[in-house]
Structure 1
Amino acid sequence: MQEITGLFKIAEILRGILGHFLPDPQLVDICMSLINIGAIFTIISLTAVVLVYTERKVSAFMQRRSGPNRVGPGGTLQSVADMIKLMAKEDIMPAGADKWMWILAPILLFIPAAAVFVVFPFDNKAIFADLNIGIFYFIAMSSQSVLPFLMAGWASNNKYSLVGGMRTVAQMLSYEVPMVLSILGIVMLAGSMRMSTIVAAQQHTWFIVLQPIAFVVYVITATAEINRAPFDLVEGESEIVAGPFTEYTGMRWALFFLAEYANLLAVSVIATTLFLGGWNGPWLPGWVWFFLKVGGMIFLFMWFRWTFPRLRIDQLMSFGWKVLLPLALLNIIVTGIGMYIYEFFS
């Protein structure tokens, strides 16, 4: 068990207060679960607001313009104003939509995007759930986002939405395989799927040094998995409007939006944990190093978006199966040979 600090101490204090008023331990557990869900939703929402503002400033910097500069000092409240405007919009359902499937799609997309955060080691003393199958849990949760996209595309009764949903299935299934194989090389080196063990194994040498091919494959496949440029064919505006999101408005569309930035944060956290040593670093506290590395990865993904042109669907599929998959398999073979040679001579 990891020592609880900071927010974890606050959670224990709240549990003690609830235990004083609620004699049944099961009621306390239910209340704490609801509080935790609300806390995760709030944190992801606030993070999305910050990331949207950051991305606007990054894109403005790359395009030699100022970006948001009207609402709040330096435009810092522009994302808040956009969020308020979005919440005030009318919730419109298409006349021919499959009602319950259309309603459930954004909810089912957001749940796994938020659920993956419970296994992330933000510090050696700050882990919600240090599962011994943490990597498997992340892969399982991240793969659940395929179905909600297809549900949204089918239920909207819109040809653009349906094409976008079908593209999502093809793209995510194609890039899920090399991403898992790139992570497998890390698991081979660390000898564990526990996140904290993988970070501890990088105290002296980060795995990006030992697994450069895996890192490149992971970054490319993660970009495709979260549907960001140059792999944003799911919502290619010039071809299929907004893809599966075309018929969504208001808070339902906002859930898709929140899930996108939650996934951006999640893949950046995983890259930091698996390849960049997690919280390991000199002088500064571990959590500071962790968030600095995560911020660097987020900037990298934003840089990709505003630098590379969108691929065609045939180019995207060919690149995944003909380039990334062989590279990932080659990396596993090289890793296995390297481990055998190291053990033989040591």
Structure 2
Amino acid sequence: MPLTLLIFLLMVPGFVVVGVYLERKVSAFIQDRLGPMEVGKWGLLQLFADLLKLLQKEDIVPTAADKWLFLMAPIVIFTAIFAGYAVLPLAPDLSGSGAAVGVYYLLTIVSIDVIGLLMAGWGSNNKYSLFGAMRAVSQILSYEVPLGLSVLCVVMISQTLDLQVISYQQGIYSPDTNYLFGLKGLGLDVTQVGGFLTWNIFRNPFLLIAYIVFFIASLAECNRAPFDLPEGESEIVAGFHTEYSGMRWALLMLSEYGMMLLVSLLGAILFLGGWNTLFPNLGPVRLADWTSGEPGTIFGYLSGAFWLLSKALLAVLVQMWVRWTLPRLRVDQLMYLGWKVLTPVGLVLFFFSGVWRLLGV
């Protein structure tokens, strides 16, 4: 537990350093420009220059603001998001708390950031901040429904709330993957196939659609475009964090990028095999044996973390790609998509996943 906690304490700020620079470069590439180039080689030191600027900025608290709500809101938001990392399995036999109800805990603890957003908007005593907070809360609560349904599809198929067990079921160490769609009828032992063929998006034909629903809902959970209405600068003056400055504003941005990584890791664990390698065991050369490593070994830890983070970072790149490609939705479009499209689709997927499991396909 202490080792995993230290890893995540270093990982989240490290991801912010990489993520902010990467997003600037990705957006520049999409828009056919260079991005930061002046501070350091290829602009690599731009983030550190921005951090130095933020450290020198005055921490302003508006006179009419509710001081304690205003000051505590960024801490509540960051704590809720960072606490979600506690149950993530980083590699075989390497996870935080190892809670048997990790999925339930994660969805519950992350929801607390809604309280922090409302604290930030109300405590600022600014109508624009309050409007932004209300938009954020209504958006997040709306999209938690389809996101939860997509997660429950995996729980239904896997019959467990333990994220580590879900990861094991999608790899070569799982004894319960013989109902892989298409391979059982061929008489193949899926535990000898492994690789990407045993990921959840292939084990059940409905889980690929469930992952798409999960990904769209996770964008709304992170307030990422095209669902960035709470922070639409051109409409509502930066949303719930309008009155924040200096390091408290930086903590809010750190929380946003931490949430991006968290939902990407969760999606990789639930749908994309977790820390398992994508190479199948076909033929005499068992690729997955030496690309995953045995559980409990240093190579197993490093290899497992490599595959999990690679999948998560690929999802983060898609999030950035979507942000700089699609236009921002209107409020009515956002709610229509959440309640009239994604939620019914999630309910249908949940029903079919239950029937699939009952039939023992």
Whether TM-score is above 0.5 comes out as yes
Structure 2 residue identity aligned to 1:91: D
Partner deviation per Cα, 1:123-179 (whole Å, 9 max, x = no partner)? 103212211001011101111111111111111111110100111111011001110
Q: 1:297 aligns with which of 302, 315, 320?
A: 315
Aligned to 1:268: 264
Following TM superposition, by how much is the alpha carbon of 1:237 offset from its aligned partner in structure 2, in angstroms? 1.2
Following TM superposition, by how much is the alpha carbon of 1:42 offset from its aligned partner in structure 2, in angstroms? 4.4
Aligned to 1:116: 84
Aligned to 2:334: 316
Aligned to 1:207: 200
d(CA) in 1 for partners of 2:10 and 2:100? 27
SS of 1:122 mapped into structure 2: strand
Partner deviation per Cα, 1:276-296 (whole Å, 9 max, x = no partner)? 001111353222211211111
Gaps of 5+ in 1: 12-35
Structure 2 residue identity aligned to 1:225: E
Q: Which runs of 4+ in 1 moved over 6 A?
A: none
Following TM superposition, by how much is the alpha carbon of 1:245 offset from its aligned partner in structure 2, in angstroms? 0.5
- 1:39-54 equivalences in 2 (<5 Å): 40-54=8-22
Indicate whether 1:173 and 2:141 are aligned: yes
d(CA) in 2 for partners of 1:307 and 1:190? 35
Following TM superposition, by how much is the alpha carbon of 1:46 offset from its aligned partner in structure 2, in angstroms? 2.4
Aligned to 2:28: 60
SS of 2:39 mapped into structure 1: coil
d(CA) in 1 for partners of 2:103 and 2:136? 23
Q: Percent identity?
A: 47
Indicate whether 1:327 and 2:320 are aligned: no
Partner deviation per Cα, 1:227-254 (whole Å, 9 max, x = no partner)? 0000000011121011111000001111
Q: Report if the CA contact (8 A) 1:223-1:229 is conserved.
A: yes
Given the two structures, how large is their TM-score scaled by the length of structure 1? 0.87
Aligned to 1:148: 116
Structure 2 residue identity aligned to 1:336: G
Structure 2 residue identity aligned to 1:259: S
Partner deviation per Cα, 1:185-220 (whole Å, 9 max, x = no partner)? 000111101011101111231112220121011000
d(CA) in 2 for partners of 1:151 and 1:312? 24
SS of 2:243 mapped into structure 1: coil
Following TM superposition, by how much is the alpha carbon of 1:69 offset from its aligned partner in structure 2, in angstroms? 1.4
Q: 1:252 aligns with which of 243, 248, 251?
A: 248
Gaps of 5+ in 2: 172-193, 280-286, 292-302
From the two aligned structures, give the one with the greater helix fraction: 1
Aligned-CA RMSD value: 1.6
Task: Call closer, same or farther: CA 1:112–1:162 in 2, change over 3 Å.
Answer: same
d(CA) in 1 for partners of 2:49 and 2:98? 37
d(CA) in 2 for partners of 1:325 and 1:138? 20
d(CA) in 2 for partners of 1:251 and 1:150? 19
